[in-house]
Amino acid sequence: NGAHDASKAFEALVSPAEIAERLRLDLWALAGLCEAATRGLRKPNRDKAESALGALRAYLQYFHGVSYQLLRYRDYDPVDRLAALVGETETVPEDEAQRAALANELHRFSEVARALSSEVARRADLASVPLDRGEVKALVARFRGGHAPVDDA
């Protein structure tokens, strides 16, 4: 099977520690982008909320192509639900109650993403490797058009 051979070749090139570190970084950035969208939705400025939601949407595409496959099977469901929620939200809701509900859902997911990142950090491969917050900020900034406030990462 060619796919199996490619998978084995990839595993030979990338260590389990590197894989775990990538997943931890990407989950932490996902949490930061969820929080940025949460804050945007809780403020009256629609443009900032749209921008933050667009950054989260773009990041989810990146995440699905890179780190999604690194998740444990049981962790797919919350990420799938987030992707569906963000995908179904074409624009920021006009209704304040709907905006608040969306903000609350994104905030809850940011907590889930941070918890998943913490689980990854407890793996033996990463037990003594600190999270590179500078790398998290750079990743968040890449999807927010170069703007990653300190509290987002």
Residue 15: predicted pLDDT: 81
Burial of 65 (0-12, 13-18, 19+ CB in 10 A): exposed
The whole-number average pLDDT for the span 63-82 is 94
CA distance 40 to 100: 11
Token pair recorded at residue 150: 């300190």
| pLDDT more than 90, % of the chain | 65
* Distance, C-alpha 124 to centroid of its chain: 22
Residue 150: predicted pLDDT: 40
pTM for the structure as a whole: 0.83
Instruction: Encode pLDDT of 89-128 as tens digits.
Output: 989 999 999 999 999 999 999 999 999 999 988 877 777 8
Q: Which amino acid is at 80?
A: D
Confidence of residue 7 (pLDDT cuts 50, 70, 90): low
